């Protein structure tokens, strides 16, 4: 499975857009990009996933580069409740074995 | 609320005790998972059950014994644990279609286990 690289931590001002990058240069053609987040002491929460087109839902937007070697998760108006560890994962659909890395710890600052 | 519940939420046990963790999903999913999250470490997948059959066992010590009596319930039986087994144990579920393909896993809140 493709590996991902994320910055260990980021800060974002409340109300501003949080842009979380993820590199996945070894991604293969059938692998999707998934994002989860984990708020302190809770279970991870699914956010969004995509293959090659940009995706948007009520929580976030996912921008995948044309070569699919990197992606960015965008939280359009970060709130204090968005403070969490964000995980970028790649794998084929039907992928039971989700491997979580260290993720990016996002701190939203008042 | 994710539709996945876990009990107990906190558990303290001695190394000679036997205890069980319970997970229940109310989503009609057909796959369930156990993960372990130790302090400052990534989540580690322990077991995967699909259609009530174990399909993944990631070299987990035998002192952890999973049980999946039906598609809605998953147990993790614990015996003679070590202090290093203290961690957050998370259960998750997902829907696997007959054509293959899942989109996301839904996680429970976890059981915080302390082994003395």
Burial of A29 (0-12, 13-18, 19+ CB in 10 A): exposed
Q: State residue A41's pLDDT score.
A: 79
> Are the beta carbons of A71 and A65 closer than 8 angstroms?
yes
Q: Reduced to 3 states, what is the DSSP secondary structure of residue B116?
A: coil
Q: State residue A94's pLDDT score.
A: 64
Q: Look-up: residue for tokens 């960015």?
A: A72
The Cα A102–Cα B9 span in angstroms is 24
| Residuewise pLDDT in 10s, chain A (110 residues) | 568 999 999 999 999 999 999 999 999 888 889 999 999 878 999 999 999 989 999 999 999 999 999 999 999 999 999 999 999 998 877 656 667 888 999 999 99
pLDDT at B26 over 70: yes
∠ CA A48-A54-A56, rounded to 5°: 45
Q: Which residues of A touch B56 (CB under 8 A)?
A: 96-97
Q: State residue A82's pLDDT score.
A: 97
| CA distance, residue B80 to nearest chain A CA (Å) | 25
- Contact yes or no for B100 and A93 at CB 8 A: yes
Q: Which DSSP state fits A103? A: -
- CA-closest candidate to residue B93, choices B103, B82, B78: B103
């Amino acid at each position: 499975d493709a590996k991902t690289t994320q910055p260990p931590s980021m800060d974002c001002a409340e109300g501003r857009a949080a842009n979380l990058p993820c590199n996945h240069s070894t991604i293969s053609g059938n692998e999707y990009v998934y994002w989860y987040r984990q708020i302190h002491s809770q279970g991870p929460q699914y956010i969004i996933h995509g293959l090659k087109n940009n995706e948007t839902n009520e929580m976030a937007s996912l921008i995948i580069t044309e070569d699919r070697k990197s992606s960015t998760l965008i939280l359009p108006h970060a709130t204090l409740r968005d403070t969490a560890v964000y995980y970028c994962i790649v794998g084929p659909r039907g992928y039971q074995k989700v491997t979580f890395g260290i993720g990016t710890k996002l701190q939203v600052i008042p | 609320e994710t539709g996945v519940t876990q009990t107990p939420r906190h558990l303290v046990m001695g190394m000679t005790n036997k205890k069980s963790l319970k997970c229940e999903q109310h989503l009609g999913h057909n796959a369930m998972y156990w993960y372990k999250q130790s302090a400052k470490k990534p989540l580690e997948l322990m077991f995967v059950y699909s259609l009530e059959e174990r399909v993944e066992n990631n070299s987990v010590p035998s002192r952890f014994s999973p049980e999946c009596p039906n598609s809605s319930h998953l147990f993790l039986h614990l015996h003679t644990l070590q202090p290093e087994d203290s961690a957050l144990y998370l259960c998750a579920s997902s829907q696997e279609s007959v054509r293959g393909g899942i989109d996301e896993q839904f996680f429970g809140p976890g059981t915080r286990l302390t082994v003395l």
